[in-house]
Every structure is written in structure tokens, then in C-alpha cells.
Amino acid sequence: MNSYKLVSREYKEQDTIIEINSAGKPVFIGEGYCTIIAGPCAVESREAYIELACFLKSAGVHILRGGLFKPRTSPYSFKGLGEQGVSIMAEVRKITGLPVISEIMDIRDLDKLYDDIDILQIGSRNMQNFTLLEELGKIDKPVLLKRGLSATIEEWLLAAEYILNGGNSKIILCERGIRTFEPYTRNTVDIGAVPIIKNLSHLPIIVDPSHATGKWKMVAPVARAALAAGADGIMVEVHQDPDKALSDGKQSLTPQNFVTMYEQLTKIAGIAEKKMQY
């Protein structure tokens, strides 16, 4: 008997497919679909974000990411535009018709984000912020739950159980690398987590190769691996000028590199019997 229940394959055999409704066509995440989420680590300015978002839409991206409230290891680092960036994301969502995703760190920010953000992300450091999990269990809004830096598969599923137990079943799991002894990469992506989750749970799982590796050169190979292993999509960081990014520039793809990767991913998705949406 597992310690988790509602998230398990035993409890619900059929794959959960999440429908994201925004201004444009609905986007689906789950078995059978390959969903690409892309955008900058942090929203830095209105102009740059609109420009990048329009490019990403034209390049086939399904959901736009953008950090507003950034958890930073040091209190002296850039922490994102916060509340003032919400309207930028709302505008971009209207212009492109694409759903947007952003991280929520503090439940007191829920009202600011609720209307304009289509998917709320729980970051690695908050995977066991049980207060946040319980509150997001009460709302009717998709939640992307990143795996904690040193969370076991079981702890991760139990964190999802908190949300599902509250009544919200729209949960997307996101593998983003775990902490190991290896110093060459920021984290070690646990590619095996993809088939394990598919086996143990009915929830969709995507992979974030940008945070997992911390190096842009590794993003495309790891993204391809993720889809080949059965992931339902990937989330990557793209920046017009990575060297000038206010955070995580080293792991951001240029638009050109993104396009090259997208072509490869389309082919892998085909083999994995997943279809890229519209």
C-alpha cells in the first residue's frame, strides 16, 4: 500500500489530461499530446517580453512562461517585477492568445495572479510548503508542481496528493533535476522519473531541461531525451540576448537555437505517439 492514494494509477487508471483555456484555442497537457512551454526566466520589460512572446508563438510554442516573483538564493539578487509584471503577462496573453504560466511563492499573492495567469507554478523550494499546497488545492486552476531539489518520487507524489486531496485535480508534475555530487551541471536531471511517474500515477509529467542542467548547450539533448522517455512536454527558457539576462542567462536558448530544437522535438514526439498541438 502506497502512502499516496488519489494521485495513483491504482486509484484512477486513465491518464489525466488537463485542458488549459485562455484567450485562444484550448491547450491540452497529458498523454497523447506534446506541449512546449517557453519564455524567459524572468519578465524583464514589456517590449522585450511582447517581442519574444510573438516570436515563440510563431515558432510553435503552446504556453508562455515568465517569472514575476522569483525565489532567489541571495536576498541581494533581482527578484522579478512582481505585481507590476502581471499586466505585461496579461497583455501578452491577449496579443498571442496563448495561456501563460508563472510562479506563486506566497499565497497572499493569489488574488494578484488569479485572473491573469492560467497556470500557477510551485517551485522546487516550495514543493513541501504545505500551506501553499493546501491553498492551491482549494482553487480551480491548473498547478505545475516542480519536484524539490532533493525530493524522492514518493515525496513528490505526496505533495501532489495534498493538492488533489484539497479538490484540485489539475496538476502537472515537472521534473527539473535533483541535487547530486556532480559539480559540472547545476542539477542532475532524473530521466528515469518520467517512466516511473507514468507508471505510478495518472498525472501528466513534463521536464524542464533549462534548470536541470544550467547550461544551454545541454538543453536540446536533454529535451529530446525527455520526450523519448515519454514526457508529455518540456518547459524551456529562451532569451533574445542570454548574455544580458537578469537571471539564468547561461541556461537560456537563443531564438535560433530554440527553432532548431523544436524541429528535433517534433520528430521525437511523432515516434513517441504524441502530437504537437495546432
Q: Binding residues for its own copies, per CB under 8 A? A: 3-4, 71-76, 105-106, 108, 125-126, 128-131, 134, 149-150, 152-155, 158, 161-162, 165, 178-185, 188-192, 194-196, 199, 212-213, 217-218, 221-222, 224-230, 264, 267-268, 271
Shortest spacing between CB 93 and its own copies, in angstroms = 25
d(CA 22, CA 116): 9
Helix, strand, or coil (residue 233): strand
- By C-beta, is 30 or 137 nearer to its own copies? 137
- By C-beta, is 2 or 254 nearer to its own copies? 2
d(CA 138, CA 156): 19
- By C-beta, is 14 or 73 nearer to its own copies? 73
Shortest spacing between CB 169 and its own copies, in angstroms = 14
Contacts of 74 by beta carbon, 8 Å cutoff, 6+ apart: none
- By C-beta, is 45 or 152 nearer to its own copies? 152
Shortest spacing between CB 98 and its own copies, in angstroms = 26
Closest-CA residue to 18 (of 134, 99, 93, 112): 99
- By C-beta, is 3 or 58 nearer to its own copies? 3
Shortest spacing between CB 242 and its own copies, in angstroms = 17
d(CA 99, CA 21): 7
Shortest spacing between CB 92 and its own copies, in angstroms = 26
Q: Cα torsion at 147, 35, 80, 119 (round to 10°)?
A: -80
C-alpha cell at 12: 484512477
Q: Which residues of 103-132 are buried (b: 16+ CB within 10 A; e: fewer)?
A: bbbeeebbebbeebbbbbbbbbebbbbeeb
